[in-house]
């Protein structure tokens, strides 16, 4: 195939999307052409049951692609396997082949399928059921399964489709009722396993260990087949998640069309001003509306991914409005899509989009998983979806074999988005990040071990599977608290009640706060106790599945937040006072006047009021609140800067410090990420070694605060977290360190591995932070660089230039005292 002719269509669509934009406002910062790839098909593995081949062929699959056959055969041989290939590369077939063949060959064999969402599970079940293979009795067992069906599933189903929540609460907790199913459990399929990250991922990792233990009790040792979006080190991740060695299959043999990928930065608006008079960019959603409208005019079947449900609806509305001025009929071909639709509604929408009856759909991430829409002409991503895995998952909906497509990434007002549109290599040349999880977090281990022991007494040799030493400490605590009992043969559950219902695997534990609509008494959802004052304080606008509510009352004693439906024209942002103290320093690197540390901290916070803002960023007013102080015991990474290096002391020269006391402890020092395809050399790190930031003392708090905000915004580039999963504190003088200090901490009790990743990647992380600030053309700080949407201090004080000076000094010292290797992880 001729690559250029092929990519012509993507280019043509991009030209259309940018038509009429004056050169001075041209928003595209980079364009990349991704070539087409031909299919690599192979014969059906000889062991595949004839019925399976027949059913798949009847469904239109003539032959498997190489990676499907390879993964299937490994699983068939009894090896745990992780298949990590692109969107729509047919990962389902890879596990269907061995599972279906086993179920056909052995009447008593069974299999379990786990997916992170019910919708995805339902899709996969539908696809298996549609094969209509006689000996396969596939059924779902989740929160929606009617009670009368549940007995049938336990007694008869040989392939059960469920999710981690139900496995935890409804299956392992009463495993004796599932003994038939467990006895011949041959395969466990863990679909979209890259989504098991952070605290949820740590819970799922321990849940899978519980599953293996229960299966072993009934005499089974199932083979695990994990399916993941492309990820950095799938074998390591899958092994950590499943607790056993997994063989990776990563060579993608599915065909793909050429794609033109454009990075797009909306222009700064001159007429609007945000917090503290900062400039604001045109919103990514508004920009996506315009692009979507242009694509629809061109007849391109397009999908726009928008971060919130309301945003998706506004984007669709905006596109329709633009189109109605061109042609009323065209406006009808644009719709919004969100989660919460019934399966039939989703099917209808998929079909309409595939047939071209609908041309443009704006959607939340709901469409990211479990929807069989591929081969579109264009995909617009309004805002970075948080991880590269999601980015490619969404971008992968565009392009089919033999036809080119366009992908447009539109940056939101956010430092990470700014960084990415100015550093294309960080998107285009980087392996998808490894998902981070930490099954040794005592806050996760405690409740998980309690559940495990309630399921079956834990014996000494089993402790290793639950983390060895880390588990031992937690077990001792549980014994002390009289939750379990230690006998010579192991650890035993003492109560008649099961702990499962108390253990939430998606949150950080503790008694959840119920959010209830006062009028109807309907429970909308729950909020972690630690974030209740922040998320559902009186007056807060609370979003639930895209609908908007306002909180009337928060009662922490009874664990209740009462809300009413209201969709006001503002959002709220809490103001809080935060304090942090160091409980334990685990690692310290000294680099001249800079130290970089990792350890445990206690963060206390008190929400003292909130601001109401218009979507433009304009602040309406501030309301005081009287809420109690909260405290969080978690992990943090922090750096300190000596007064000499800040240049705010009595003039002590930093020269005297050079070369003294600087030693590296353990951690590899990494190079920064590349810019536009070429790597930034260490000389570009900024700041000559040992030079001071030369900051007047009055500027130090604003400089540190701005550096902290941007660092929080950029950590998700290195750890698979959302900026909302982490927090930060900066101070010109900290009691425990005796120096100016910037902390970035995990937002969950016990941590989820994010601070640890920040510590391990300190140089590339801070270099990227500096780059993001420098790349933003605003004069004195805006949401694209140093302002934070969740700042408890109203983004005040912030000193953009000061932040660059601080980061230059820190990076200069790290380079002088630490940088030796040329190893890069990006």
Ligand X SMILES: Nc1ncnc2c1ncn2[C@@H]1O[C@H](COP(=O)(O)OP(=O)(O)OP(=O)(O)O)[C@@H](O)[C@H]1O
Applying CB under 6 A, the span of 4-12, 72-80, 89-97, 542-550 interacting with ligand X comes to 89-97
Closest separation in Å from C-beta 288 to ligand X:
22
Q: In this complex, which beta carbon is closest to ligand X, that of residue 246 or of residue 280? A: 246
Shortest distance (Å) from residue 316 CB to ligand X? 22
Of the candidates 34, 72, 93, 456, which one interacts with ligand X according to CB under 6 A?
93
Distance (Å, whole) CA 614 – CA 187: 52
Please report the sign of the dihedral spanned by the C-alpha atoms of residue 181, residue 234, residue 203, residue 486.
positive
Closest distance to ligand X from the beta carbon of 729 (Å): 39
Report the site for ligand X in 8-67 (rule: CB under 6 A).
61, 64-65
Please identify, using beta-carbon distances, which residue of 87 and 737 lies nearer to ligand X: 87
Shortest Å, Cβ 101 to ligand X: 16
Instruction: Please list, residue by residue across 421-431, b when 16 or more beta carbons sit within 10 angstroms of its beta carbon and e when fewer do.
Output: bbbbbbbbebe
Considering the complex, what minimum distance in angstroms separates the CB of residue 61 from ligand X?
4
The least CB distance from residue 555 to ligand X, in Å, is 42
Nearer Cβ to ligand X (88/780): 88
Helix H, strand E, coil C: the string for 159-227 is: EEEECHHHHHHHHHHHHHHHHHHHHCEEEEEECCHHHCCHHHHHHHHHHHHHHHHHHHHCCCCCEEEEE
Residue 372 touching ligand X (CB under 6 A): yes
- CB 380 to ligand X: min, Å: 18
Q: Does 90 bind ligand X (CB under 6 A)?
A: yes
Options 89, 202, 365, 731; binder of ligand X; rule CB under 6 A: 89
Under rule CB under 6 A, residue 194 binds ligand X: no
State in angstroms the smallest separation of the CB of 229 from ligand X.
6
Which residues does residue 263 pair with via DSSP β-bridges, in sequence order?
Answer: 30, 409
Q: CA–CA distance from 591 to each of 645, 735, 812 (Å)?
A: 11, 21, 9
How far apart are CB 8 and ligand X at their closest, in Å? 25
Shortest Å, Cβ 87 to ligand X? 4
Residue 305 interacts with ligand X (CB under 6 A): yes or no: no
Compute the least distance from the CB of residue 212 to ligand X, in Å.
Answer: 24
Cβ 698 to ligand X shortest distance, Å: 53
> Would you say 337 or 754 has its CB closer to ligand X?
337
Closest CA to 70 of 39, 50, 41: 41
Options 67, 91, 613, 723; binder of ligand X; rule CB under 6 A: 91
Task: Please say which residue, 339 or 602, places its beta carbon nearer to ligand X.
Answer: 339
Residue placing its CB nearer to ligand X in the complex, 249 or 632: 249
Residues 519-538 contacting ligand X, CB under 6 A:
none
Candidate segments 90-98, 559-567, 623-631, 719-727, binder of ligand X by CB under 6 A:
90-98
Q: Which is nearer to ligand X, 191 or 576 (CB)?
A: 191
Q: Which is nearer to ligand X, 28 or 374 (CB)?
A: 374
User: How far is the C-alpha of 537 from the C-alpha of 518, rounded, in Å?
Assistant: 15
Comparing CB distances to ligand X, the nearer of 90 and 446 is: 90
Please say which residue, 229 or 437, places its beta carbon nearer to ligand X.
Answer: 229
Selection from 372, 377, 349, 344 nearest residue 361 by Cα? 349
Give the residue with the Cβ less far from ligand X, 64 or 170.
Answer: 64
Residues 6+ apart with CB under 8 A from 481: none
Minimum separation from the CB atom of position 91 to ligand X (A): 4
> Which residue, 194 or 612, has its beta carbon nearer to ligand X?
194
Residue number with the smallest Cβ distance to ligand X? 90
The span from the CA of 354 to the CA of 350, in Å, is 6
Site pattern 735..774 for ligand X (x: CB under 6 A) = ----------------------------------------
Residue range at the interface with ligand X (CB under 6 A); choices 85-93, 214-222, 693-701, 783-791: 85-93
CA angle 163, 164, 168 (to 5 degrees): 120
Query: Do the Cβ atoms of 564 and 551 come closer than 8 Å?
Result: no
Of 826, 703, 691, 698, the closest CA to residue 763 belongs to: 826
CB 592 within 8 A of CB 817: yes
The region of 87-95, 449-457, 543-551, 593-601 touching ligand X under the rule CB under 6 A is 87-95
Give the separation between CA 279 and CA 260, rounded to whole angstroms. Answer: 31
For 5, other C-beta atoms within 10 Å of its C-beta total 10
What span, in angstroms and rounded, lies between the C-alpha atoms of 23 and 26? 5
User: Which H or E run contains 296?
Assistant: helix 284-297
Are 382 and 739 in contact by the 8 Å Cβ rule? The answer is no
Shortest distance (Å) from residue 761 CB to ligand X: 27
Residue placing its CB nearer to ligand X in the complex, 61 or 236 = 61
Q: Which stretch binds ligand X (CB under 6 A): 88-96, 581-589, 602-610, 726-734?
A: 88-96
Site membership for ligand X, residue 87 (CB under 6 A):
yes
Using left for φ > 0, alpha for ψ between -120 and 50, and beta otherwise, residue 370 falls in left
- Cα dist from 330 to 15, 180, 296, 338, 381, whole Å: 20, 56, 7, 21, 22
Nearer to ligand X, 253 or 750 (CB): 253
Residue 97 or 445 with smaller CB distance to ligand X:
97
Secondary structure of 303-353 as H, E, C letters: EEEECCHHHHHHHHHHHHHHHHHHCHHHHCCEEEECCCCCHHHHHHHHHHH
DSSP class of residue 299 equals T
Nearest to 728 by CA among 743, 747, 714: 743
Distance CA 160, CA 173 (A): 16
Q: Are strands 513-517 and 523-527 parallel, antiparallel or unpaired?
A: antiparallel
CB of 93 to ligand X, least distance (A): 4
726 - beta bridge partners?
746
CB of 640 to ligand X, least distance (A): 44
224 lies in the binding site for ligand X (CB under 6 A)? no
CB nearer ligand X, residue 354 or residue 556: 354
Residue among 130 and 649 whose Cβ is closer to ligand X? 130
- The yes or no reply on residue 88 touching ligand X (CB under 6 A) is yes
Residue 168 C-beta: closest distance to ligand X, Å: 23
What is the total count of residues that contact ligand X (CB under 6 A)?
12
Task: Determine the interface stretch with ligand X among 84-92, 401-409, 601-609, 653-661 (rule: CB under 6 A).
Answer: 84-92
Q: Smallest Cα–Cα separation from 815: which of 607, 627, 589, 534?
A: 589
Task: Answer yes or no: are the C-beta atoms of 413 and 441 closer than 8 Å.
Answer: no
Could you say which of 7, 73, 92, 595 contacts ligand X (CB under 6 A)?
92
Q: Which residues bind to ligand X, rule: CB under 6 A?
A: 61, 64-65, 68, 87-93, 372
């Amino acid at each position: 195939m001729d690559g250029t002719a092929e990519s012509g269509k993507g280019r043509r669509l991009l030209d259309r999307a940018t038509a009429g934009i004056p050169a001075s406002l041209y928003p595209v910062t980079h364009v990349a052409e991704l070539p087409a790839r031909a299919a690599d098909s192979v014969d059906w593995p000889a062991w595949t049951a004839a019925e399976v081949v027949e059913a798949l062929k009847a469904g239109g699959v003539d032959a498997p692609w190489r990676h499907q056959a390879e993964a299937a055969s490994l699983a068939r041989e009894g090896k745990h396997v992780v298949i990590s290939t692109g969107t729509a590369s047919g990962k389902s077939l890879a596990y269907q082949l061995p599972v279906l063949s086993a179920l056909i060959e052995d009447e008593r064999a069974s299999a379990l399928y786990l997916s992170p969402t019910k919708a995805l599970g339902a899709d996969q079940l539908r696809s298996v059921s549609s094969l209509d293979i006689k000996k396969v009795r596939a059924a779902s067992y989740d929160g929606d399964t009617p009670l009368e069906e549940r007995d049938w599933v336990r007694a008869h189903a040989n392939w059960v489709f469920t999710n981690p929540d139900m496995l935890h609460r409804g299956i392992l907790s009463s495993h004796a009722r599932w003994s038939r199913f467990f006895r011949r459990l041959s395969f466990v399929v863990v679909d979209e396993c890259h989504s098991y990250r952070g605290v949820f991922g740590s819970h799922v990792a321990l849940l899978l260990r519980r599953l293996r233990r229960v299966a072993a009790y009934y005499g089974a040792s199932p083979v695990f087949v994990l399916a993941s979006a492309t990820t950095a080190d799938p074998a390591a991740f899958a092994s950590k998640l499943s607790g056993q060695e997994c063989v990776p299959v990563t060579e993608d043999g599915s065909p793909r069309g050429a794609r033109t990928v454009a990075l797009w930065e909306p222009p700064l608006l001159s007429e609007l001003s945000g917090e503290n008079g900062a400039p604001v960019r045109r919103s990514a959603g508004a920009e996506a509306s315009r692009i979507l409208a242009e694509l629809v005019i061109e007849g391109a079947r397009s999908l726009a991914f928008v971060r919130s449900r309301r945003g998706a609806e506004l984007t669709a509305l905006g596109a329709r409005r633009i189109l109605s001025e061109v042609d009323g009929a065209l406006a009808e071909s644009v719709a919004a899509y969100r989660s919460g639709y019934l399966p039939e509604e989703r099917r209808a929408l998929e079909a309409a989009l595939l047939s071209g009856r609908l041309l443009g759909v704006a959607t939340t991430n709901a469409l990211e998983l479990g929807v069989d829409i591929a081969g579109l002409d264009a995909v617009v991503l309004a805002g970075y979806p948080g991880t590269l895995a999601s980015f490619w998952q969404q971008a992968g909906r565009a392009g089919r074999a033999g036809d080119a497509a366009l992908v447009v990434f539109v940056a939101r007002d956010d430092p990470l988005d700014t960084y990415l549109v100015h550093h294309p290599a960080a998107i285009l040349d980087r392996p998808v990040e490894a998902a981070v999880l930490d099954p040794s977090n005592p806050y996760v281990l405690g409740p998980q071990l309690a559940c495990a022991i309630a399921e079956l007494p834990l014996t000494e040799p089993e402790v290793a599977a639950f983390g060895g030493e880390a588990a031992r400490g937690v077990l001792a605590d549980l014994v002390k608290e009289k939750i379990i009992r230690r006998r010579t043969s192991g650890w035993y559950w003492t109560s008649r009640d099961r702990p499962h219902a108390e253990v939430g695997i998606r949150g950080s534990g503790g008694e959840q706060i119920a959010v209830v609509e006062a009028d109807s008494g309907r429970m909308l959802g729950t909020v972690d106790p630690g974030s209740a004052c922040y998320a559902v304080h009186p007056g807060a606008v609370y979003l639930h599945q895209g609908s908007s509510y306002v909180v009337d009352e928060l009662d922490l004693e009874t664990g209740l937040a009462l809300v009413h439906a209201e969709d006001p024209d503002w959002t709220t942002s809490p103001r809080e006072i935060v304090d942090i103290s160091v409980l334990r320093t685990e690692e310290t690197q000294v680099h001249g006047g800079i130290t970089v540390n990792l350890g445990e901290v206690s963060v206390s916070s008190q929400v003292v009021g909130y601001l109401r803002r218009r979507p433009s960023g304009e602040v309406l007013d501030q309301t005081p609140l009287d809420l109690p102080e909260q405290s969080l015991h978690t992990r943090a990474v922090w750096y300190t800067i000596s007064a000499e290096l800040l240049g705010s002391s009595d003039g002590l020269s930093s020269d005297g410090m050079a070369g003294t006391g600087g030693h590296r402890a353990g951690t590899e020092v990494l190079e920064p990420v590349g810019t536009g395809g070429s790597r930034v050399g260490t000389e570009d790190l900024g700041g000559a070694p040992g030079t001071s930031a030369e900051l007047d003392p009055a500027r130090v708090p604003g400089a540190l605060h701005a550096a902290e905000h941007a660092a929080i915004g950029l950590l998700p580039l290195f750890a698979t977290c959302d900026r909302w999963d982490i927090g930060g504190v900066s101070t010109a003088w900290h009691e425990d360190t005796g120096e100016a200090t910037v902390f970035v901490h995990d937002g969950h009790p016990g941590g989820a591995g994010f601070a640890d990743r920040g510590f391990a990647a300190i140089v590339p992380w801070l270099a990227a932070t500096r780059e993001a600030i420098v790349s933003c053309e605003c004069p004195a700080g805006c949401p694209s660089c140093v302002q934070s949407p969740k700042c408890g201090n109203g983004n005040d004080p912030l000193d953009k230039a000061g932040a660059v000076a601080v980061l230059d000094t820190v990076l200069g010292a790290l380079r002088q005292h630490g940088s030796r290797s040329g190893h890069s992880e990006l």
